Amino acid sequence: MAAQTKDYYKDLGVERSASAEQVKKAYRKQALQYHPDRNPDDPEAEERFKEVSEAYEVLSDPEKRRVYDLRGYEGVKSGFGRGGFSWDDFHHATEFEDIFGDVFGSLFGFGGRRGGTRRRPRGRDLRVRLDLTLEDVLFGKETEIKLRRTETCMTCAGSGAKPGTRPRTCHRCAGAGQIRIAQGFFSLTTNCDVCEGTGQVIGSPCADCGGEGRSNEQVSLKIPVPPAIETGTQLRMLGEGDAGPPGGERGDLYVVLNVREHERYQRDGENLHCEEQISFPQAALGDDLEVATPHGPYKVKIPAGTQTGQRFRVSNHGVPRGTDNQSMRGDLYVHIFVRVPKKLNERQRQLLRDFAKEFGEDPIEQEKGLLDRFKESLGFD
């Protein structure tokens, strides 16, 4: 194919509007199909493999893809080495491992980066749930949690060997913790199957930890909770998970936050909502209503003629608009409900009758039954 007519979208079999995930999926499929180790002595398959790899190198990079969409191959060819695309140009190391982990697993029977090519195994990641109140969300806090996790054994100082002895260097990997496997033109590394990536073999295990170098302990940790978080938010605490095996780093701790419902306020993003009851005279004549807010009492002006269901906004009395900005907040919405009295004396009833007549109304009053009068005499509503 001539350089000036290269169509990377056609090479991968995707539309020009394809997402990054669709590009990646198409590449994985074709890379597996045309891989030279699956097609020995087939120069056409090898050439096709290079074509789809070159296409992916361009289309997986947002900037290269933008230039290619604007100027075609002429716009991106200068980014390759002399003579065109080569494996040296395929620089997305992490992406490369993510894609080919499954491909190598299919070809050679083990995974790529997911299969454990770390120099030393790391400790297990832990996950805990932390319940919070709305006040915690509004102002942030530092709280303490207790959890059980593996800690470095104090008896053997994490070596796993009986005190007075030492682990010996693994004979298979010579202490590297990894072995190299060559397959075709690829050279891959994986954890040593004898020492499991530690580079050492323990002859006399520690009696307290059984050679693990770790023991199960309960610990207390202080967790800084930022304001404005929502239920489902995860905090990652680096190095606060299980201790790793000898020579390995600690895992991480993931704290999953859960915000409990509040008895007064309902949250809607950065805004809060609450309900306030007012009397009929307050609704009809208007009043200054003192409302309790999370940030202290606040007077809300209730205009004459306020109806049930009306709401009033108290600006900047909601949830912070960022984890590091306490001065800018959402709003608090106060929803008004007009309270109807359940008990009236005769004078109050007569006043309401006169009031109704002024509006041309003649409400029919229900006679109280024997049970209602009995309850009223006992002071029940």
**CATH value at residue 290:** 2.60.260.20
For 221-249, write each residue's pLDDT tens digit. Answer: 999 998 988 999 999 999 999 998 766 78
| 161 and 68 fall within a common domain | no
Kindly report which listed range (107-121, 130-144, 344-358) carries the lowest average pLDDT score. Answer: 107-121
Residue 73, pLDDT > 70, answer yes
| 34 and 10 fall within a common domain | yes
> Quick check: is 92 in a domain?
yes
Domain boundary among 237, 259, 281: 259
Mean per-residue pLDDT, 173-200: 76
Q: pLDDT value at position 108?
A: 43
Average pLDDT, the chain: 81
| 89 and 163 fall within a common domain | no
Domain containing 48 equals: 3-113
Q: pLDDT value at position 274?
A: 97
> Quick check: is 180 in a domain?
no
Position 1 confidence tier, pLDDT thresholds 50, 70, 90: very low
- This prediction has a pTM of 0.56
> Quick check: is 194 in a domain?
no
- Write the single-letter amino acid at 74: E
Kindly report which listed range (69-78, 299-308, 347-356) carries the lowest average pLDDT score. Answer: 69-78
Mean per-residue pLDDT, 180-187: 65
Q: pLDDT value at position 179?
A: 83
> Quick check: is 159 in a domain?
yes
> Quick check: is 181 in a domain?
no
| 142 and 252 fall within a common domain | yes
Kindly report which listed range (25-39, 51-65, 102-116, 181-195) carries the lowest average pLDDT score. Answer: 102-116
Residue 98, pLDDT > 50, answer no
| 254 and 145 fall within a common domain | yes
| 209 and 135 fall within a common domain | yes
Q: pLDDT value at position 112?
A: 42
Residue 86, pLDDT > 70, answer no
Q: Cα–Cα distance between 188 and 179 in angstroms, integer? A: 8
| 94 and 48 fall within a common domain | yes
- Domain containing residue 51: CATH number: 1.10.287.110
> Quick check: is 193 in a domain?
no
Residue 254, pLDDT > 50, answer yes
Q: pLDDT value at position 105?
A: 44
| 27 and 88 fall within a common domain | yes
Q: pLDDT value at position 184?
A: 55
Domain count, the chain: 4
For 45-54, write each residue's pLDDT tens digit. Answer: 888 888 888 8
Percentage of the chain surpassing pLDDT 70? 79
Position 263 confidence tier, pLDDT thresholds 50, 70, 90: very high
| 275 and 369 fall within a common domain | no
| 270 and 322 fall within a common domain | yes
Position 185 confidence tier, pLDDT thresholds 50, 70, 90: low
Residue 102 backbone zone (phi > 0: left; psi -120 to 50: alpha; other: beta): alpha
> Quick check: is 238 in a domain?
yes
For 311-364, write each residue's pLDDT tens digit. Answer: 999 999 999 987 666 678 999 999 999 998 888 899 988 988 888 888 888 877
Q: pLDDT value at position 88?
A: 46
Which one has a higher pLDDT value, 74 or 148? 148
| 221 and 159 fall within a common domain | yes
| 39 and 93 fall within a common domain | yes
Q: pLDDT value at position 103?
A: 46
> Quick check: is 158 in a domain?
yes
Domain boundary among 238, 259, 280: 259
Domain boundary among 212, 240, 259: 259
